[in-house]
Amino acid sequence: MSGLLDARGDVRDWAPPGWHWEVLPSGTRILVRNPGDVVDPDLVWWKSRGPHSVQREPAPEEVVRRRIREEDEHVNRYVFMLDTPAVYNSRWMVLHRDPSHVSIAPVMVPALWVRSAGRSAPRGLGPDKS
């Protein structure tokens, strides 16, 4: 576990799996998906060195679209919280194996990433994309 704690950096430099930071000409930083095919977020399963795709029965297209939309919304909430001084914090969290989500090894993520997930995000934050 100490290896995970040693790997910490600035939470503002962390990007979720499949995403990276880009700097616009204005100097604004935005999170954008990595080029290439969009991968169903539920196919990204954690191993000790990061995400790894595994073979399994593909989900129906409408389920994949919903999962990707939910991931986009999560990323939007996360970026909004990073830029909101009243909400921002620089703490890291170690996510452990959860029986409802196959996580093979603990993984270090910003606390804001966890807080910005679904129902745990403060209501009314970020752009509403409904």
For the chain, domain boundaries: 2-120
> Is 113 strand, coil or helix?
helix
Look-up of token digits 């204005």 = 26
Q: Is residue 9 scored above 90 in pLDDT?
A: no
Q: Is residue 53 scored above 60 in pLDDT?
A: no
Q: pLDDT tens digit string along 68-122? A: 898 899 999 999 999 999 999 899 988 765 555 555 567 788 999 888 886 555 4
Q: What is the pLDDT of residue 127?
A: 39
Q: Half-sphere exposure of residue 85, counting CA atoms within 13 Å on the CB side? A: 0
Cβ atoms 58, 114 nearer than 8 A: no
Q: Is residue 28 scored above 80 in pLDDT?
A: yes
Q: Half-sphere exposure of residue 84, counting CA atoms within 13 Å on the CB side? A: 15
- What mean pLDDT, rounded, does the chain reach? 76
Q: Is residue 34 scored above 70 in pLDDT?
A: yes
Look-up of token digits 């935005």 = 30
Q: Is residue 20 scored above 90 in pLDDT?
A: yes
Stronger pLDDT, 53 or 17, i.e. the higher one = 17
Q: How far apart are CA 50 and CA 44, in angstroms?
A: 9
Tell me how far CA of residue 16 lies from CA of 20, 26, 58, in angstroms. Answer: 8, 23, 22
Q: What is the pLDDT of residue 109?
A: 87
